Amino acid sequence: MTCTFAIVDCNNFYASCERLFRPDLKSVPLLVLSNNDGCVIARSQEVKALGIKMGVPLFKIQDEIKRHGIQVFSSNYTLYGDISSRVMHTLEQLSPHVEVYSIDEAFLDLSGIGSLNDYGQMIKATVLRHVGVPVCVGIAPTKTLAKLANNAAKKFKATQGVVDLREHKRQKRLMEITPVNEIWGVGRKLTESLNRRGIETAWQLAQMDTHQVRRLYSVVLERTVCELNGESCLGLEETASAKQQIVCSRSFGERLTHYTALREAVCEFSARAAEKLRRENRLAMMVNVFIRTSPFDETSPRYDNTATGKLSQPSADTSKILELTTRLFDMVWKDGYRYAKAGVMLGDFCSPDNVQPSLFENQERRQENEALMQVIDTINHSGQGKVWFGGQRPQKDWFMKQANVSPAYTTRWSSIPEVR
DNA sequence: TCTGGGGTCCTAGGACCC
DNA sequence: TCTGGGGTCCTAGGACCC
């Protein structure tokens, strides 16, 4: 039986989220910045039309911002996460099989549905009505072709935001006018290499011999070629697979030069990572700490180091993880540098149910610690204050720059917009 | 002055064993 | 002393995604 996939992708998601609560900005150019207000990570249609590229640093476009009256927002991930779950919830009402693929897109299984174009339009209208976010829908027999269809739905106005790409003739026509780099799974390096071989369009890639693709590149690109030819290699993954690693890292608003300051930052990341770990209900064995100077800073010396260690046994206990973190930090720390970024990575996970208790560990002590962690997480999420360990420090001068953050419209009572 | 953060998967190469 | 291939496991690094 042939499957039918749809991908629903929000248009300019972060920009649309900011606009949701500011109807006055409906047709005003608007962009959203990365952490530290560093570079552009989302743009409204108007900003795209001005030719401002994804990822450019803010300082390079100051003139254009002034000239065109562009509204600038710091990123507000709490808001985006909340809007995202509303979108996904709506989609789950419309289709029994949904794979949440990222914060702003989901794959749906539409096998067996009759009029797919109408169905796509219905999805689009429903999300707009329920959540207020515009989406585009791409429909095809494989995920890769569905992504391609979605691409076209976004690019061509006449499609009205929905493209049904089940017909082979349409697939061919679209691939012939699609540059190979727009294909899902073909990034910068592959594009360069394919171009060197004279492969410029998606259609040319689709015509390549799969064995040759595997030999020259990898099974990954081979799969892409198969998918472009209508052979589905990637199924719908409805249950989110367990995480393999958890990372917490940040660039600093200002360079850090002191041992204590950087150590505090690293401990804070470690505690955040441990919190995520507990939310996933997993235990970690491996802890990795990295620190580095800015790769863009040409005037001061560079330094980049990382250290990995193993806990004596799997744990999600912040105090145990912090203890190892500080030891690892001392291994990588070197005086005399201007540090721009640091992070903590947890890995080697297992589930709490099948962990072998150590011969030497005190069982009661372990249960006490688990209970303590629960209390700490509850307090820290209550919004009524924070509890932290020695080594962390809640008032942080390394904290991010966020000059233009929008209010917590959906998650804080005092920030809910008033209707007059 | 000012350049994001959090992931996954695959591959190559080294260590080690038989 | 010389010489061999195949297998597994681990790690680092690259490429990709959003």
* Per-residue pLDDT of chain A in tens (420 residues, 90 and over written 9): 688 999 999 999 999 999 999 999 999 999 999 988 999 999 999 999 999 999 999 999 999 999 999 999 999 999 999 999 999 999 999 999 999 999 999 999 999 888 999 999 999 999 999 999 999 999 999 999 999 999 999 999 999 999 999 999 999 999 999 999 999 999 999 999 999 999 999 999 999 999 999 999 999 999 999 999 999 999 999 988 889 999 999 999 889 999 999 999 999 999 999 999 999 999 999 999 999 999 888 888 989 899 999 998 899 999 999 999 999 999 999 999 999 999 999 999 988 886 666 656 667 777 778 888 877 777 777 665 667 777 776 555 556 678 888 887 777 766 666 665
- Report how far residue A279's alpha carbon sits from residue A266's, in angstroms, rounded to the nearest whole number: 20
Please name the nucleotide lying closest to A60, CA to C1': B2
Nearest Cα to Cα of residue A146 among A201, A185, A118: A185
- Report how far residue A10's alpha carbon sits from residue A307's, in angstroms, rounded to the nearest whole number: 39
H or E, element range at A256: strand A245-256
Rounded to whole angstroms, the distance from the CA of residue A184 to the C1' of nucleotide C17 is: 8
Contact A265/A257 with Cβ under 8 angstroms?
A: no
pTM confidence score? 0.91
Contact A66/A396 with Cβ under 8 angstroms?
A: no
The contacts of residue A92 (CB under 8 Å, 6+ apart) are A98
Amino acid at A116: L
Rounded to whole angstroms, the distance from the CA of residue A18 to the C1' of nucleotide C2 is: 73
- Report how far residue A304's alpha carbon sits from residue A296's, in angstroms, rounded to the nearest whole number: 13
Q: Could you tell me the sign of the dihedral formed by the alpha carbons of A312, A315, A317, A318, in that order?
A: positive
Neighbours of A103 (CB within 10 A): 17
Residue A184 approaches strand C within 7 Å at CB: yes
pLDDT of residue A366: 73
Encode A189-208 in three state secondary structure.
Answer: HHHHHHHHCCCCEHHHHHCC
Neighbours of A257 (CB within 10 A): 13
Distance from CA of residue A109 to its chain's centroid?
Answer: 23
| First CA to last CA distance, chain A | 55
Beta bridge partners of A43: A31
Rounded to whole angstroms, the distance from the CA of residue A215 to the C1' of nucleotide C6 is: 22
Nearest Cα to Cα of residue A75 among A106, A49, A40: A40
Residue A104 approaches strand C within 7 Å at CB: yes
- Closest residue (Cα, C1') to B9: A220
pLDDT of residue A358: 61
Nearest Cα to Cα of residue A383 among A409, A404, A403, A413: A413
Rounded to whole angstroms, the distance from the CA of residue A241 to the C1' of nucleotide C5 is: 38
Residue with tokens 């892409």: A224
- Report how far residue A354's alpha carbon sits from residue A304's, in angstroms, rounded to the nearest whole number: 37
Rounded to whole angstroms, the distance from the CA of residue A350 to the C1' of nucleotide B17 is: 28
Residue A191 approaches strand C within 7 Å at CB: yes
pLDDT of residue A411: 72
Please name the nucleotide lying closest to A194, CA to C1': C15
Residue A354, token pair as written in the block = 């099948």
- Report how far residue A257's alpha carbon sits from residue A339's, in angstroms, rounded to the nearest whole number: 6
Contact A65/A72 with Cβ under 8 angstroms?
A: yes
Count of all residues that appear for chain A in the document: 420
Rounded to whole angstroms, the distance from the CA of residue A365 to the C1' of nucleotide C18 is: 41
DSSP label of A418? P
Give the bases of strand B that a protein CB approaches within 7 Å: 1-11
Alpha helix (H) residue ranges in A298-362: 318-332
Chain A 196-255, CB < 7 Å to strand B: 218-220, 241, 243-251, 255
Helix, strand and coil percent figures for chain A, each rounded to 5: 45, 20, 35
Rounded to whole angstroms, the distance from the CA of residue A62 to the C1' of nucleotide C6 is: 61
Residue with tokens 């863009």: A296
DSSP label of A131? T
DSSP label of A300? S
